[in-house]
Structure 1
């Protein structure tokens, strides 16, 4: 094999290795999200910051920022564990709803 062909094969191997690594990370995140959704569907009322971040598609740092700024309802039993009640979080999300242009026009 010539040198150019070896380089092309090496690039393809690197690409496939990187793609496999990305798929493994994605699979892990999807599995975690499924666990959170399953927890929500089984009547388990509370999630932690990491689970809430997955559910909302935000970073854990953003969740902690919202807690620090008292923007989101939370519980801190014993002063250590940070928990969020799912139905309160859903109410918080709904409270931030904005009317559509169609709704605004129909109210005029």
Structure 2
């Protein structure tokens, strides 16, 4: 178990997790975002609509469960298999394919 203190900002927290040793990030989203971070970032959509609108951003559609096209067990198995493929280098996330690799550094105090 690792505990990490960082703000909830997507860029800052994802950069902090990578700096702390994370090798794959799981990023859930309901609106979609093109951001990618220093580690492969698996974008998981919470609904099928955003997955259909942003296929070049979203890596995994968890909205299939809400659509009734899969079971929780099937979805979990598919997600786990995909994460293993990414972690082993057999698959690339969309941010890796497009070269999106942003970082953001957290600074305590006043930011001008």
TM-score above 0.5, yes or no: no
Which structure dedicates a bigger proportion of its chain to helix?
1
TM-score norm. by structure 2 comes to 0.30
Which structure dedicates a bigger proportion of its chain to strand?
2
TM-score norm. by structure 1 comes to 0.30
Whichever of the two has the greater Rg, that structure is 1
Ranked by relative contact order (alpha carbons within 8 Å, sequence separation 6 or more), the top structure is 2
